[in-house]
């Protein structure tokens, strides 16, 4: 009998079992008409089929969704978060709207990099 590879062992636990009061997420910063977004959705559909999929255009929108979903559904635990976004050496790239496709140049259409500094700029108070 052959041994499972590390990747096979990691994916063997998916899709994760649904647990009351617990939510798993996949946040898309790329639209479904973007080739990267389309292929990411195809890849994620199978092993992560129980993840709550959300299209967002900013980290502020992501945190606002967290807050609303946690309160409305009385969630006690966020178990997994997957973020699908374009990236460069400077960091993730987000669009002002999830409906806007990724342009050839991030400077177009108000795209900006997401850095550790921009994430920490979102106040923790926005979650509660």
Nearest to 93 by CA among 81, 80, 106: 106
Count of CB atoms within 10 A of residue 125's CB? 6
pLDDT band per the 50, 70, 90 thresholds, residue 4: confident
* SS3 state at 75: coil
The alpha carbon dihedral of 9, 86, 61, 126 has a sign of positive
Count of CB atoms within 10 A of residue 31's CB? 19
Separation of alpha carbons 14 and 21, rounded Å:
19
Residues in the chain: 128
Separation of alpha carbons 128 and 124, rounded Å:
7
Quick: pLDDT tens for 30-86: 888 888 889 999 988 888 888 999 998 877 788 888 889 989 999 888 888 888 887
How much is the pTM? 0.67
Give the residue, 33 or 14, on which the prediction is more confident.
33
The predicted pLDDT at position 128 comes to 43
């Amino acid at each position: 009998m052959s041994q499972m590879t590390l990747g096979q062992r990691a994916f063997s636990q998916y899709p994760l079992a649904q647990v009351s009061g617990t939510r798993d997420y996949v946040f898309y910063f790329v639209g479904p008409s973007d080739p990267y977004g389309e292929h990411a959705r195809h890849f994620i559909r199978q092993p992560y089929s129980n993840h709550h999929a959300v299209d967002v255009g900013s980290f502020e929108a992501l945190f606002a969704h967290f807050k609303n979903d946690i309160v409305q559904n009385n969630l006690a635990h966020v178990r997994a978060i997957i973020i699908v976004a374009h990236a460069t050496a400077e960091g993730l790239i987000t669009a002002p709207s999830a409906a806007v496709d990724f342009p050839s140049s991030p400077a177009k259409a108000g795209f900006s990099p997401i850095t550790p500094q921009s994430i920490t700029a979102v106040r923790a108070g926005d979650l509660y």
